[in-house]
Amino acid sequence: MPHGAHRKSSLVATAVAAVGVVYGDIGTSPLYTLKEVFNGPHAVAVTPTNVYGILSLVFWALVLVVSAKYVIFITRADNRGEGGIMALTSLALRVLPAGRRAWVLSTLGVFGAALFYGDGMITPAISVLSAVEGLEVATPALRHWVVPISLVVLIGLFLMQQRGTGSVGAIFGPVMLCWFAVLAGLGVNGILLHPEILGALNPLWAVRFFVEQPLLGWLGLGAVVLAITGGEALYADMGHFGRRPIKYAWFSVVFPALYLNYLGQGALILDHPDNVRNPFYLLVPEPLLYPMVAMATLATIIASQAVISGAFSLTRQAIQLGYAPRMQTVHTSEREIGQIYVPGINWMLLGAVIALVVGFHSSSALASAYGIAVTLTMMIDTVLAGVVVLYLWKWGRARTFLFLLVFLTVDVAFFSATTVKILAGGWFPLLVGAAIFILLTTWKRGRELLNDRIRADTMPLDGFIQSLFHNPPPRVEGTAVFMTTWLEGVPRALLHNLIHNKVLHERVVLLTVETADVPYVPENQRITLDELDYGFYRLKVKYGFKDDPDIPAALASCAEQGMRFEMMATSFFLGRETLVSRIGSGMPSWREKLFILMFRNAGSAADYFRIPPNRVVELGTQVEL
pLDDT, one tens digit per residue, over 363-414 is 888 888 888 888 999 999 999 999 999 988 889 899 999 999 999 999 999 9
Strand partners, 480: 508, 571
Q: How confident is the model at residue 1 (pLDDT cuts 50, 70, 90)?
A: very low
Look at residues 259, 200, 266, 373 and name the one whose alpha carbon lies nearest to residue 35. 266
φ, ψ dihedrals at 597, nearest 5°: -65, -45
Query: pLDDT value at position 2?
Result: 47
* pLDDT score recorded for residue 167: 52
403 closest CA partner among 57, 73, 63, 86: 73
Q: What letter represents residue 218's amino acid?
A: W
The per-residue pLDDT for range 529-561, each reduced to its tens digit, is 999 988 999 999 999 888 889 999 999 999 888
Share of the chain above pLDDT 90, in %: 50
* Contact between 382 and 88 (Cβ < 8 Å): no
pLDDT for 278-337, tens place per residue? 999 999 999 999 999 999 999 999 888 888 888 888 888 888 888 999 898 887 765 554
Top-confidence residue, 579 or 221: 221
Q: What is the DSSP string of 397-434?
A: HHHHHHHHHHHHHHHHHHHHHHGGGIIIIIHHHHHHHH
The pTM for the full model equals 0.88
Does residue 222 contact residue 70 with C-beta atoms inside 8 Å?
no
Q: Does position 166 have pLDDT exceeding 60, yes or no? A: no
pLDDT at 30 over 90: yes
- Interior CA angle at 417 toward 415 and 420, to 5°? 110
Measure the CA–CA gap between 314 and 9, rounded to whole angstroms. 31
pLDDT band at 168 (very low <50, low <70, confident <90, very high): low
- pLDDT value of residue 67: 95
The residue ranges of DSSP E strands in 248-407, in sequence order, are: 330-331, 340-341
Does the structure show a pLDDT above 60 at 338? no
What pLDDT does 4 receive?
52
Confidence of residue 66 (pLDDT cuts 50, 70, 90): very high
Does residue 536 contact residue 465 with C-beta atoms inside 8 Å?
yes
Say if residue 435's pLDDT is above 90: yes
Please say if the pLDDT value at position 470 is more than 60.
Answer: yes
pLDDT-derived band at 443, boundaries 50, 70, 90: very high
pLDDT reading at 485 higher than 90:
no
The radius of gyration of the chain's CA atoms, rounded to the nearest angstrom, is 27
In terms of Cα–Cα distance, which of 427, 315, 327 is closest to 370? 427
Give the contacts of 279 (CB within 8 A, at least 6 positions apart): 34, 35, 38, 265, 266, 268, 269
